[in-house]
Each structure stands twice: as C-alpha cells, then as structure tokens.
Chains A and B, each alone.
Chain A
Amino acid sequence: MTLCSYCHEREGVIKLTQIVGGQVETVQLCAQCAAEKGIQTPATMEDTPIGGLLAALSLETEVAASDATAESPVCPGCGGSLQDFRESGRLGCGQCYDTFGEPLRELLRRLHGSAHHTGKAYHAPGTPAREIEAESIDRLRERLKRAIEQEQFELAAELRDRLKERE
C-alpha cells in the first residue's frame, strides 16, 4: 500500500501528476487530502458540478476566518454569507459578486478560465449616452489587451482599428 504523500497516514488512492519547475512530479494522495486541496475526482464531480471548487473555496475562507475572527463578510444586499453560498452553491443577489471579492474571482477563474466578461455589453434603460461611449472604449481597450495576450492578432488588429475610430 502506498501512503498518501501529504498526511502519511491513509492510503494514497489518487495519483496526481504535476509539473513543478519543469520537472514532472507524481504524488499519491488519499481521497481526503485530495478533496482538501480542491482536486476534482470523478466522485466529487458527480456530487455537484462545483462541489470540489466550493470545498476549495471554503478552505480558503475558513483559514481567513481563523486569522481574523468573525471577519467573514456578509452581503449588505441580501444578508448572505460565504457560508450560505458554500452550502447552497447559489449567490443571494448581484452585490454578492462585489462583497465576496477575491475568493469569488478565484472561483470564477477556476470555473470559466477567466473572470472577465467579453460578451454583449449592457446598459440599463436611462444610462446617459456619454457613459455608454466611455465604457465601450474601455471595453475595447480591455479586449485588445486580451487579444494580444492570447496572440489572436487578427482580432487585435480589428479591435485596434475600431478604437482608432472612436478616439
């Protein structure tokens, strides 16, 4: 029996291959340590689609909470806490997205590979035209930056032309 590389107590049933500093490293983990590290296994994935990620998220917040006792934020919009979110997997209102800041951003990055919307822009009825114009320039800049990062040069050229027209 191979022991878990982390707790050295339980049987290592999950083989994790990582690339660390250019070296391929294989470790054996027990189910519990794997879950604590937020590593998805077929079992956790079937449970709830974001179960493993939420478990990972809760780990971070529990650490944060023990550092600064009772500092866990409560959303002013709906009264929901991170704990509520962890249990239900649902956010209570739009403000939660700002209230839970970095842990939520991290979750979005893990779920979607990004925490930035690049799709359809929206302006609520009654938004002044000036604001719409300013925001769309900001969005174009943001998209251009990302296109260059992702080496999508054709898209980048198109976005650059559109920016020039606006500026």
Chain B
Amino acid sequence: MIDLDLLPDGGLGWLEASGPASHLVLSTRVRLARNLADRRFGARMDAAERREVLDQVIQAAGTTTGLGHALVVRPDQLEEWDNRLLLERHLISRELAGLGDRNSITTTRALLLQNRAAVMVNEEDHLRLQVLASGVDFGACWREVEGLDTELGQRLAFAFHSAFGYLTSCPTNVGTGLRASVLIHLPGLVLTKEINKTLHGLTKIGLTYRGLYGEGSEVVGNFFQLSNQTTLGKSEGELLEHLGTIVQHVIGVEERARQVLLRDAPAVLEDKCWRAFGLLRYARSLSFEETMNLLSGVRLGVSLKVIPNVGMYALNKLLVFSQPAHLNAKAGRLLDEEEMAIRRAEFVRWTLEEEVRRGQGA
C-alpha cells in the first residue's frame, strides 16, 4: 500500500478549513489542460509516444521551482486501492487512476505532487495542472497554477492555436483549458427545497454542477461541485471573476435559506442537527452514504452554532478519512463491507469524542 506520509501535505492542506468561507466551501480547485505541440492527443497515442511524452514532461518538471521536488506517482504501478485513495483525496481523476468505466488509458501515466499542486500526465490531455486550496480562493489557486503553467510552457512547446488558444483533446476544454470549481455544502437550499431552482439557474449562466467526486458522480451529503462550463471566448480572469461572483451569490442564497430555517422551524432544525450528531457519536456501524448525510447535518449545526465544541477541521477530517480506501489504508488491509462499516463507526465515534473533550477543555 502507498505510504500516506510520503504525499506532500498528504494532499490535505485544504482540510484545515482556513480559507475564506470555509464553513460553507470546502475547497477551491483550478485546473489547466495542456498538450504538447506536434503530438497526437491521449486516446490516439501509441505506447512509444506516451512514453516519450512522460519522459519529456518529467524531465522538464524537474528543472522548475513549482515541481522540481515533486513526488512522482505511477498509477499503473499501484494497487487499485491506492489509486482509489488518491481519488478520494481529489488528487487524481477516475480515468488516470485506471478506475474509469470506458476506454481507460492504462499505461504510462503519472501524477506529480508538490505542495498544493497535482499534475496529471497522459490523461485525456498530456497535462492537467491543478491547485487545490481551502475555502473560496480562486486568486491563490490561479496564481499558483499559472506559475506552473508558465514554467512548464517555457520548457515544453504547448499546442497553441492563434484563434482557438490552448488545444485540448475535448473541444469543451479548448481555449483557456481552465476549469475552476468549488466544493460547496448546501444543506439549507436542500432542506428548503430551493436547490433545484438554484442549480437550474446556475446552468443558465454558464455554470455546471456535479457530485462530490466530479464528473458523473452522485451528490452525497449535500456537497456540490460548481464549475465553469465554457473555457473559450473569455479570459482566465473573466472566467474566474464570473465564477467567483456566482459562488458568492450562492453562498448568500444558502445563508438566507439557513436563516429562514432558523426563524421558521428552529426546533426541527436543531433536532435534525443533534440527531445527526447523536447517531455519529454513538452508532456502531455506519455506511459511507449514511456517514456523509449525517456529517452534513452536523456541519450545518456547527456552522449555525447549534452544536458547540466541534471544529470544521475535525468534520473535514471525518469526511476524508471515513471514505473506503482511507479505512483500508488505516487497517492495512482490504476490509469487507461489514467490517468497514464497523471500523468507520469506530473512527467517527473516537474522533467526535476527542473533539468534544478538546472543545470543552479549551
């Protein structure tokens, strides 16, 4: 199994919940898609070409400041569960991890990790550069990922077209190659049944939403990933500003929904939050989905100050470490479903107990 201690900041810097609006927004991500000039794109490359691209990228990255000390992970040389763990940390795509459903590319892939940056090599595009930060922080993510892009672009010739910009395998990414997203918690809108209206509205103004693990994933625990839909015709600054404005708007709408709930149904709301807390605090067996849903209730209670003595950091940690691959890693072996539910409940129980003790003592 992969040694978690080797991962730079464990890919978990965002857990600290230190960024702006981090009670609502878990993390911000900005990624850029890039391809090398005069080479075929992902799906059309043969093994030799993939090898050449990988060597070229690793060599170039080695001389940059942004990736000069990067840990190079080779997903095709890892066990499936290690790949799942990287996926659960949002450091790798399903496709690069070899967990995709269709036509997954299975050879000569790499993931470069340094600080908050994760660079995927030989995914659908030759390069996918991403930076992940806590809370809503498009500016910081953009500056970092842009720095990486500039450094790499000075060493490698990127496929760039005078009219279409950065060329990508899928035309939905062409132009800036930029996809920015936030992972946002919207229980207020779900409880007030305003969520569909809000999400529908977002799709009308150039945004798209997904579940916890990105494209094709389900919405669990009221966590939504919001991102820009178009990548061409607007500059990176304009795209990020537009997305930033809308995220602030969604935060406002969610805050208002929560105030409505507190005003109109305080007893129901408090009961919901405390029931979720009670179950997590004492249950002896928990499925992943149930845990996510209960954590959503507790998170809401904590951010509304209904539940004292629990911090966002502890909740973020629970969110990450109660995922299946993380529980396997902790146990040092593959757990069956029943064992996993028991281990998960144990971990959640202890973490909350510790958190409450720490909170009361402080």
Contact = CB atoms under 8 A, between A and B. Distances in A.
Given A117-B232, A125-B155, A93 B44 contact: yes
A112 interface: yes
Interface in A77-127: 77-80, 88-94, 97-98, 104, 107-108, 111-120, 122, 124-125
A112 B157 contact: no
Contact of A92 (B41, B163, B232): B41
B319 interface: no
Interface residues of B, number: 46
Interface residues of A, number: 32
A119 B238 CA distance: 9
B167 interface: yes
Contact of A125 (B157, B159, B163, B175): B157
Interface string B80-116: 0000000000000000000000010000000000000
Given A107-B171, A114-B233, A90 B161 contact: no
B39 interface: yes
A50 interface: yes
Contact of A94 (B167, B170, B231): B167
Contact of A113 (B103, B162, B233, B239): B233
Nearest to A80: B44
Contacts of A116: 163-164, 232-233
Nearest to B231: A112
Given A80-B44, A115-B163, 8 more contacts: A91-B170, A92-B43, A108-B171, A108-B174, A116-B232, A118-B234, A119-B176, A122-B160
21 contacts: A50-B172, A90-B124, A91-B169, A93-B39, A93-B41, A94-B41, A94-B159, A97-B161, A97-B164, A108-B164, A113-B230, A113-B233, A115-B163, A116-B163, A117-B161, A117-B165, A119-B234, A119-B236, A119-B239, A120-B235, A125-B155
